[in-house]
A and B are shown apart, each in its own frame.
Chain A
Amino acid sequence: MAEWHDVDGGMRNFLRLAQGLDTLPVLLALQRQPHLWNAKRFRTTFENTPHAEVDDIWIRFSDDELAQGDTAAVMADGASVWHPAAAELPQTKPLILNLMRFAEAYELNRVVITRLAPGRRILPHADDQGAYVHDPHRQRVHVVLQGLPGSLYRTGDETVQMLTGEVWWFNPLLEHEVQNNSADDRIHMLVDMRCWP
């Protein structure tokens, strides 16, 4: 991992959009419904996936037929669909809609909740392949549902600690990795949006 970057000294690969969000309703809903985790395995099992140590829940993603293992097809796919977990996690709706309004988004794309246990990693990778990530309107934001000190996120040569209730934009085209060295699970909701140009 890179050394700590001075947050006040010109960060380029991250931007903290908000802090102090109440994430407890979503966390409680997740705690009550453990069956939601890992219902879909594409992201965490495709060959050489950097997310092998992650559990996830798809709220919106490519449809099941497309996400059968053809990574190139998924990487090109901009047509996200709702998955059953969306109906079981209505607590995510206000977070997502408020975020879209704040970011002036006109279209909601993929929404995935990920969980990384203490001591686990997301391996270095860049989301720089396929048409999906190269749409200039599309932005990726992390809503930190649970993040404790020691949950480190590196993008390029900058590393930040993402804490509960914060919302971060980052540049997924650059190499990034995660090390959860905190005392508890790191639980993030990734929200992709197309934003007003």
Chain B
Amino acid sequence: MITAQVEPWHPTIDEIKPLLHGHWEELALNKDKVPLDPQWEFYDARDARGELMLVTLREAGRVVGYFIGFVAAGLHYRTCLTLTMDIF
């Protein structure tokens, strides 16, 4: 059975990192011009500010999918808390 759950950024991201390259290989366009190179320090900073949401999909305890989004007040709508998707 696959379940979805919100998880903390650390240490869960360490389970996700091994999946990233395969994900990029499968889905990314123009890979020769846009290499995979996450700016982890910015993810960490947003997590420290409580602005990052991570949802995992697990099967038998193993991560098989993920969703990452950034949560913040909307630039155009100050009072509207808005999630901007990073990757899934």
Contact = CB atoms under 8 A, between A and B. Distances in A.
Interface in A31-82: none
A87 interface: no
A29 B46 CA distance: 36
B73 interface: no
Contacts of B56: 149-150
B30 to A, nearest CB: 34
Interface string B1-20: 11101111000100100000
Interface stretch (B21-29, B35-43, B58-66): B58-66
Contacts, number: 45
B interface SS class:
strand
Interface residues of A, number: 15
A2 to B, nearest CB: 12
A152 B3 contact: yes
B60 A150 contact: no
Contacts of A119: 59-62
A181 B61 contact: yes
Interface of B: 1-3, 5-8, 12, 15, 56, 58-63
Interface of A: 1, 117-119, 148-150, 152, 161, 179-184
